[in-house]
Copies of this chain bind each other. A is one copy, B any other.
């Protein structure tokens, strides 16, 4: 997470035969995880604990010392032949290994952004017929169960809560029971054969909106999806005001913790009702959210995230039980909060990396989550860097004269052409203000038609008349102090009874916001030595990113000048990533290793960021974007 992270140069290569796939990973990564990294299926049922013996590979070249687990699983002959458990075998030098063909095809699905994901849930339900105890066989209930699970490849541990259930359930089920195993933990035992029913939840815990998905872990199919407002909104719209609330009020932290639990438990009740699923049938949960949201969810103090130098409690994946956390499902269900790359590049971005495959694929890609903070990740399987740029609230419509959030009455898209100006308004009602995407569009369209100069200044009213139709030109107005503005809607067209105007100051606000993000992008591109033309794709993520017109983002210079078809809105990438991590243990392992692999660069107080920021405050010349000379409308 620190900027002193080792550069991605000292990697080792692992070649998998007969697939002939090669990957380069940091030394010390297991061969199993390296295979996960490139989506190569190696069998495993024990959650990479070295017990099921299914993840075997044969080391053909490179270090191959046998571990205790290897010696338990393999014969002397097999060991001498190079057979090893890939989940225990750490690559310390270049390795060539052979992977046995899988019996049958692994179940896979297209998820996230065109990703082929192998489904392998971390939850295993194993129906068992136990030998009843007798005077000749007085093993304890737990030993009996554990011994019956061993031949199935499971070596389980049980918490006190689970042990307490055993005597009653085993006898109620008359020794026919189903063991529920998550990772290597026995989380529950159910009477009879209930192996057909196993469910999990994926949450995107956004500052504004919380999305919950109930998934069938056997099939990978979604059972129900719902979203709701984060109940914490009454305590402030953004993360900083939520953190302030915990600092200003003695019980602020427990208050916000209770509120988000109420929100999540409400959503859970709806999802379970809709899906006809009982609470105890939900065995695993994955959450993605920014660091502040995940801290508040876990009841951990987020204060240090809000103050320089911006420190979270933990960056790794946090695991806890539903009981500890306070979710109303199976008490021993495991909750996995995806890890962070930095205090301001949160688990939502880690989920975004899973959804896009950015850090696992060849070809350099850029992922930008645009909000009050711009989160930026650039890279490929070779090397990935991340940063966060403080953008201010302009993209959310705040500090903009007629700005508003993206709700009913907000202008969300603007088109300016020969026929005049066309507004797209949320809810199809007369407009009452301008939200972030509308702001971007307005400025981009004004640049296109020549009414705004690269400096961000409006042309004079008289110049406007030379450039565009008189209907458009008269929308350039000047106030008493000589400051220009552009009328998006006249008073009589608006829903608020007064005209909706884009002021010179609004444009400056947008310039600062986009300059910060573009400056951050510039820093990471320089760090990787990447030019715009190298970028294979640009992903716009986050609730705001999904609504941005890619062309407008390009015209105002928010993103590098790549052909517009390479810029893609990826919707709720955080939710998709959480879902992938829930349904695929392999992908969750990838997420877990991301904080170690992605280099985080802090921009605060960095000289080159300030330079970049100043350099990109201006809007790009349209010629550099292949869009004519800025008089498109007039000449059209």
Q: Which residues of A contact B (CB under 8 A)?
A: 1-4, 65-68, 70-71, 88, 90, 92, 133-143, 158-161, 163-164, 166-168, 171, 298-301, 303-304, 308-316, 318, 320, 324-325, 340, 342-343, 600, 602, 604-605
Contact = CB atoms under 8 A, between A and B. Distances in A.
Contacts of A166: 300, 313-314
Nearest to A158: B314
A43 B324 CA distance: 36
B133 A309 contact: yes
A304 B139 CA distance: 12
14 contacts: A2-B136, A65-B70, A66-B66, A133-B311, A136-B602, A138-B309, A139-B315, A141-B314, A142-B316, A159-B324, A160-B318, A163-B300, A164-B300, A167-B301
Contacts of A68: 65, 67, 88, 90
B160 A298 contact: yes
A298 B158 CA distance: 14
Nearest to A342: B138
A138 B600 contact: yes
A316 B141 CA distance: 11
B300 A135 contact: no
A605 B88 CA distance: 47
A2 B88 contact: no
Given A2-B136, A298-B160, A141 B324 contact: no
Given A66-B65, A68-B67, A88-B68, A2 B138 contact: yes
Given A138-B311, A160-B325, 8 more contacts: A3-B136, A65-B67, A133-B304, A137-B309, A139-B311, A140-B340, A160-B299, A168-B301
Contact of A311 (B67, B140, B340): B140
A604 B159 CA distance: 32
Contact of A141 (B4, B133, B311): B311
A349 to B, nearest CB: 15
Contacts of A303: 167
Given A67-B68, A160-B325, A602-B135, A312 B140 contact: yes
A339 B83 CA distance: 37
B67 A142 contact: no
B160 A320 contact: yes
Contacts of A298: 160, 163-164
Contacts of A4: 136-137
B314 A143 contact: yes
A310 B137 CA distance: 10
Contacts of A161: 324
A318 B340 CA distance: 34
Contacts of A312: 140-141
